Structure formats: structure tokens, C-alpha cells
Amino acid sequence: MSGRRVLIGIGGGIAAYKVCEVISTLAKSGVEVRAILTDAACQFITPLTVATLSRHPAYTDEDFWQPHKRPLHIELGEWAEVFVIAPLTANTLGKLAYGLADNLLTNTVLASTCPVLLAPAMNTDMWEQLSVQRNWQQLLTDKRYHSVGPGAGLLACDRVGAGRMAEPAEILPTIASLLHAKGKRDLAGKRVLISAGGTREHLDPVRFIGNPSTGKMGLALAQAALHRGAGVTLVRAPAAWDVPLGVQAISVTSAKEMEQEMRSHFSNADVIIMSAAVADVKPAEYSAEKLPKRLLPTNLPLEPVPDIVAELATLKKPHQKLIGFAAQTGDIVTPALEKLHKKKLDAIVANPIDKPDSGFGSDNNQAIFLDKQGHKVEIEPCSKLQMAHYLFDFIISY
């Protein structure tokens, strides 16, 4: 992200306070951030706040009408790699839908060619007005425009409903995806099925055999696929994160449940990625009631669980691509290649879990991609979202 260029347009709404976190996080990660505030936005947050967080002067309409070496809206429009408008108000939405430009923000939109990310925010009744929805749908027919939110919840007006601006945790990954893919929707029309997280094989209602997987890699894959235009179904074992808006999520606990859901949705998928850390064995017997400590077995009989990825491979049609993961220590390539060929996968991700800041629970990862044609791509340490994009690049390329 270091050195990338993001322009933030801030509209007049109470949700403008959320944009401060977006700007701060981007700046701390090395992104060059410039910001434009409308006159209405200045009623909610100050240019000084935005300038301090972005480490660069913030622009207002007053700056628009000052002399510059080149017109300010032209300069900013050409500079930006991604243009984010948050909060997007009903007023600005209407102007953009009809190509109107009467302030610095809207003039800069028309003077730019980069992807534009829209994060609407307004009262539920305002959002649901026929005219607003017409403008929204009309604007999204332009491939330049991408959206995040709005969500539903308690609004600042005390109304509970749709119109809540997306949280920074949703906006930031979308920005990163737009920077990587340059706004391309190269997975549009594709269905992507992803498994995520670590399954749990219960001995009784409170004890289970599990693993440290948090499902963050699966989440990143779902985000990347969604941002690139795919329809996404995510089968996830217990995880602490929220599912992105627009992703069909199915919660499971055990390997058997995951197998059932993956098989159920398999035929509709074009790309299937098994990133879940699925158990290899389970207790041979299950107690429906919590076992007293004195009755816990000293030797726990185990039995194997279904090999989900191997079973899916037997169902695979020629147009489908099935990708597996191999979390390994030490030599990661040899066992990954063995798994690739034995289980008849199209590709596999070999990732080390014994490297610093990599693997289970980490926000970052590193890997070697291998496919059945013999292609090999080594991915240096990066965020899991970046890794997800690299994997889709690999899948599309071969």
C-alpha cells in the first residue's frame, strides 16, 4: 500500500466522523491521502482534523476558487488512483447521477478516470425514496462506480433501518481491492465457493478437538472475490469476524456439516477454494451431556472425518476449478505437490505456519502457489487480502 494514492471526498453528514479512521489508517500504512470536504462536510468535521490525519492540507470549495498552477480539480483527478466518497449524501448522489458539477468534489469526479468507491449514508426514509434509489441504480450502471453499504442499524436520528454508512473495516479492504485490481470486475458472472475457519469435532457439548485457524484467510478470499465482481458463498466454521455485505454465509461447526454444505453448493460454483482447516479425526463417541471430569477417557478413541476436498474432486466438472490449501512446517512444497496430485486439485496454496507473522491467526501470510500444469509462483509476506488477490490472479492466468 505504501505510495499508493487515494483521494477522499467527504460529504455533509454525521457519518463523516467515521472517515477520520479511514484516513488515519491509510496514512499510517504509507498511502498518500488527499481529501476534499464539501461546505456541508465542514459543519461536521474540520479541515484541520482531516489535514492532521492525512499529513496533507485538506481542500475545500474555498481552495477551488483560488488560483493554482493547474486547475485544482484537474490536478486532483489525475493524481488519484482511487476516489472514495464517504459519506455519499443524497444531494451528491443526485449530482453524480446526472453528471452535474457545482463544487470541488463533483468537478473532481468528472475530471478523474479512476475507480470511484461510494459509501452512502442517510436517514432510512431518505434512502428509500424512489428518486434516490433511481439515482443510485443509474449511477451503478457506470462501471467506474463501486459501492460499499449502506448497512442497517441504529442511525444518528434514532431510526433503525437501512442507510447506515459502512464501517471503516468494510471500506478499507474495498479500497485495497480497488487499488490491486484497478477497479476491474474480472470475476463478474462467476460463482466462488469458499470454506473458512477451523472445524470443531466435539467430545461433548463443551469439549472438542480443534485447531488455531481463525478463518481470516477465507474472509480475505471472500472479500477479494466480492470486490472483483463474483457472487460469493462462504461456508465458515466458528469465527469472530463479521461476514461482508453481499456474501452468502453459511455457518457450520464440524467437518461433517462443512462437507454437507460444500457438496450442496458445489454444482453452482465456478471456483471452489478449500481454505478451511478441517479436522483429520474426531472422537469415536459423542456424549450429548457434559462428561464429568472423572468420566473423561484417558485414552480417546478416534475415527477419521470425511476428506472434503478429495470428495469434491470426484464431483468436479471441466469448467470448475478446485483449489486446496496445505498449511505446513518445514518443507512446504513436497507435501503440497503430493496433495495436489493425490486429490486431483487444479491448484494448491502451500503456506508455512512456522514463519513469523504468517499462518493461523495472523493478518499476514506468505505462500507458494502450485498448479497441475507445473506453474509455481512464490508470494512474499503480505496481507491476507493481498494474498487472496494474488491467488485469484494466479487462477485467472492459468
Catalytic residues, by residue number, are: 157
Q: What is the CA radius of gyration of the chain?
A: 24
Contact yes or no for 273/195 (Cβ under 8 A): yes
Q: Does 355 show up as a binding residue in the annotation?
A: no
Is 69 annotated as belonging to a binding site? no
Do residues 364 and 357 touch, judged by C-beta distance below 8 A?
A: yes
Report residue 15 as a C-alpha cell.
457519518
Calculate the dihedral angle through the C-alpha atoms of 69, 74, 78, 84, rounding to the nearest 10 degrees: 120
What span, in angstroms and rounded, lies between the C-alpha atoms of 253 and 200? 6
Nearest to 279 by CA among 213, 348, 207, 194: 213
Residue 265: CB atoms within 10 Å? 17
Among 43, 383, 332, which Cα is nearest to 179's? 383
Residue 216 is assigned to a ligand binding site: no
Find out whether 277 and 199 touch, Cβ atoms under 8 Å: yes
Residue 383, CA distances (Å) to 315, 324, 330, 362, 386 in order: 32, 19, 21, 9, 5
**Residue 39 assigned as binding residue:** no
Any known ligand binding at 339? yes
Q: Please tell me whether 132 is known to bind a ligand.
A: no
* 325 assigned ligand-binding residue: yes
Does 307 belong to an annotated binding site? Answer: yes
Cell of 121: 449514508
On whether 306 is known to bind a ligand per the annotation, the reply is yes
Q: Which residues are annotated as a binding site for CTP?
A: 280, 290, 306-309, 325, 339, 343
